[in-house]
Amino acid sequence: MQVFVTGGTGFIGAHLVRLLLQQGYAVKVLVRHSSNLENLRGLEVEIVKGNLNNPNLWQQMGGCQYLFHVAAHYSLWQTDRELLHRYNVLGTRNVLAAARKANVERTVYTSSVAAIGVGSLGEVVDETHQSPLEKLVGNYKKSKFLAEQEAIQAAAKGQEVVIVNPTSPIGSLDIKPTPTGDIILRFLRRQMPFYLDTGLNFIDVRDVAWGHLLALQRGKSGDRYILGHQNLSFKELLDQLADITGLSAPQQKVPAWLPLSVAWVDEKILAPLGKSPSVPLDGVRMAKQPMYYNAAKAVRELGLPQSSLNAALKDAVDWFVARDMSTPLGKSKVKSQN
């Protein structure tokens, strides 16, 4: 069976492509002309160059029975609002239309828990929760909500579309890196003297890949499935990293108003003057509230694996260190995982 994958060069997509190949699928991967192909090196996949908004995308999907639409534009900068809408919302609309025209039998759309939103402070929510669009913090979350609506509407019209909502994946192949990978890198580089009192739901990225395949095989069209595992405070995550690496975790909390003030000055005052902002205002606003989720539906209905987060963190640390991405720390200062 031939599968078409968008976003196959990225973190989740690269693990999904590997899993599909291991399970005997023939894989066609859509990549941009400027894409970094490192995560596909050595894999027996067919590379198709193009973009999500290509009106002839349906022709590139020819012969494929299934589609995994993983690609998305991620940015927390407020200036990227139009890009987020173009790639995440309009791109998803075009991809789904192309799948219909190409007679793709079933699509798995990669949404995000960002589209679901959060409950009250510290509340754990599931797929039945939905924050109103106006309550979603930042243009990225809003774009993912609107893109998910495209998938829901397509399913309502009879197209086979299953929606998955990953939380914060952890593991190897995080080349950009993702926000979670950036936390790990900042810890390794000793660039995190303080921590914010917040929390996230984390999952091994390989389990996320399995969640996609299981959604294809067992998911109900029009339904969404949270692909997550364990809710951890930021401090608990940093303590686990300390145990793995032998490095000390930050012990002092920073009040939310401090990074919020820095981000506001950075993005609203200095950026218009030509300085590259370093802290996205929307990112700090998101971090003010724990983002905790319940993945019981995906575990129960799909059989989503719940692998050790500690092992996933070790994989991530080893991968970053092996590529010397953890400098200026240096490899010798991290405990060997062998």
Q: Report in angstroms the alpha-carbon separations of 159 from 89, 150, 298.
A: 17, 11, 21
Q: What average pLDDT does this structure show over 124-147?
A: 93
Helices 234-245 and 309-322, axial angle in degrees (round to 10): 60
- 2-174+201-230+291-304: CATH topology: Rossmann fold (3.40.50)
- Tell me how far apart the alpha carbons of residues 61 and 68 are, in angstroms, rounded to a whole number: 11
pLDDT of residue 275: 55
Closest CA to 294 of 125, 115, 113, 117: 125
Annotated domain spans of the chain: 2-174+201-230+291-304
Q: The tokens of 161 are what?
A: 């579309």
- Is the N-terminal amide bond of 290 cis, ω within 30° of 0? no
CA contacts within 13 A on the Cβ side of 182: 7
pLDDT of residue 320: 95
pLDDT of residue 106: 98
Burial 185-215 (b: 16+ CB within 10 A, else e): bebbeeebeebbebbbbbbbbbbbbbbbbbb
pLDDT tens by residue, 202-212: 999 999 999 99
Of the pLDDT bands very low, low, confident and very high (cuts 50, 70, 90), residue 325 is: confident
Q: Is the pLDDT of residue 243 over 70?
A: yes
Contact 66, 1 (CB under 8 A): yes
- Tell me how far apart the alpha carbons of residues 47 and 228 are, in angstroms, rounded to a whole number: 30
3-state class of 288 per DSSP?
Answer: coil
pLDDT tens by residue, 189-236: 887 777 777 888 999 999 999 999 999 999 999 999 999 999 998 889
pLDDT of residue 328: 55
DSSP string computed for 19-73: HHHHTT-EEEEEE-TT---GGGTT---EEEE--TT-TTHHHHTTT-SEEEE----
Q: Is the pLDDT of residue 153 over 60?
A: yes
Q: Is the pLDDT of residue 257 over 50?
A: no
Tell me what percent of the residues of the chain surpass a pLDDT of 70: 84
Q: Is the pLDDT of residue 296 over 90?
A: yes
Could you tell me where the DSSP H helices lie in 106-225? 138-156, 179-188, 205-218
- Cβ contacts of 271 within 8 Å, gap of 6 or more: 79, 277
pLDDT tens by residue, 59-84: 999 999 999 999 998 776 666 789 99
pLDDT of residue 70: 98
Q: What average pLDDT does this structure show over 328-337?
A: 45
Contact 114, 141 (CB under 8 A): yes
Strands, E, within 215-277: which ranges? Answer: 224-227, 230-233, 252-254
pLDDT of residue 77: 64
pLDDT tens by residue, 270-282: 455 555 555 554 4
- Tell me how far apart the alpha carbons of residues 288 and 152 are, in angstroms, rounded to a whole number: 29
